[in-house]
Amino acid sequence: MYNSLLILASGAEGEAPAGPTLFGLDPTFYVSLAMTVLVLVMLWKKVPGMIVGGLDNKIAAIRLQLDEAKALRAEAEALRNEYSAKIAGAEKDAESMMENARKEADGILEKAEEDSKAMIARRKKMAEDKIAAAERDAVDDVRNRAAMAATAAAEELIAKKHTNAADAMLADEIIAGM
């Protein structure tokens, strides 16, 4: 059959292609024989089993990696959910902190207003007290000056109208009154 195919391919009938032969067998036979021996040696050495075993090991390794990837993904999702919950909690905490800060600021502002009103009232009272004290000092000073002026005027009048005889008579009256 091969020869007839070669004859058809060469275009001439009855002519066989010239080629090397060994023991009258063409090279195709030897290639087929070598391939058969190779396949038999591979089967005898259990190469397909080794290939299947290697592939099974590779499949197991890939399956293990897939399982690890699934576990990592599940862990990452759990962490994401945990951090989402933490972020939500932190936002609530931040809102409550802001509300507390506003309340504290309002309280501090109210206290500062009350303190400033009280301080203004104290300072006003202190100023009024200082003014009253200054008025008293001024009135006292005016009285003292008036008393000194009256004393000086009385002294001058007494010095002008009082004589030695009036002095003796005054002394006698005082002694008699005792």
Boundaries of every domain in the chain: 1-44, 46-177
Three-class secondary structure of residue 22 per DSSP: strand
**Is there a contact between 102 and 94 (Cβ–Cβ < 8 Å)?**
no
Q: Report the DSSP beta bridge partners of residue 17.
A: none
Is 42:48 a contact under the CB 8 Å cutoff?
Answer: yes
Q: What per-residue string of b and e applies to 89-99 under the rule 16 or more CB within 10 Å gives b? A: eeeeeeeeeee
- Phi and psi for 158 in degrees, rounded to 5? -65, -40
- pTM for the model stands at 0.36
The total number of residues shown for the chain amounts to 178
The tokens describing 170, both together, are 């005054």
Backbone angles phi, psi at 48, to 5 degrees: -60, -40
Split the chain (178 residues) into runs of 10 and give each run's mean pLDDT: 48 57 82 91 81 89 95 94 91 91 92 90 91 90 89 81 75 85
β-strand partners of 22: 25
Angle of CA points 113, 114, 118, to nearest 5°: 115
Sign of the CA dihedral 155, 160, 161, 166?
A: positive
Q: What is the pLDDT of residue 104?
A: 93
